[in-house]
Structure 1
Amino acid sequence: METPKGEGAGWLRLLLLAPYIALLWLPFYNDTQPAFLGFPFFYWYQFLWVPITSVLLYVVYRSMK
């Protein structure tokens, strides 16, 4: 008996907690070093999570479709 694609992918939804926790934990990235292309760590760390979150959303969406 086959299971629908979305049924076994419930644990993948937990991946969406990663950006939430990573950006909510402010003491971790509240620093200026290491700088990247002139941007303090505080800024580029947050910008880095934009494409990471997009990829995670895509993975979860495709697993549920």
Structure 2
Amino acid sequence: MSDAPEVKQPVVTPVRVIIALCLVAPFVAMLWVSSYAKVEPALIGIPFFYWYQMLWVLVSTALTMIAYKLWQRDQRARKATSATSEGAGA
């Protein structure tokens, strides 16, 4: 018997893929400058270039919040599963 703790491999689940997409989407949207480097369509006199970026501030906040909530739910589920499997094995 070894006293070394068991090392668990990272698990890729659909929820974690969604979390990653929520966190990566704003970076892709902002780094793809040619998609929004234009004046039209203007919104209440504000060129597209500016209002598009400001819109992404709000969208990024929402996506980060969604990713955080999904991560919390995933961690709770993993702990519950871990506690159940440890209790059954004892």
TM-score by length of 2: 0.61
Work out the CA distance in 2 between the residues paired with 1:36 and 1:54: 21
Q: Which has the higher contact order (CA 8 A, sep 6+)?
A: 1
- Structure 1: unaligned runs, 5 residues or longer: 1-6
TM-score by length of 1: 0.83
Work out the CA distance in 2 between the residues paired with 1:64 and 1:10: 8
Work out the CA distance in 2 between the residues paired with 1:41 and 1:48: 10
1:16 counterpart = 2:29: no
Residue from 52, 72, 77 that aligns with 1:45:
52
Q: Identity of paired residues, percent? A: 39
Runs of 4+ in 1 over 4 A off after TM superposition: none
Q: CA RMSD in A?
A: 1.3
| Structure 1 position 38, deviation (Å) | 0.8
Paired residues of 2:39 and 2:48 also in contact (CA < 8 A): yes
Q: 2:71 maps to what in 1?
A: 64
- Structure 2: unaligned runs, 5 residues or longer: 1-11, 73-90
* TM-superposition CA deviations, 1:8-31 (whole Å, max 9, x none): 421122221111001100111000
Number of aligned residues: 59
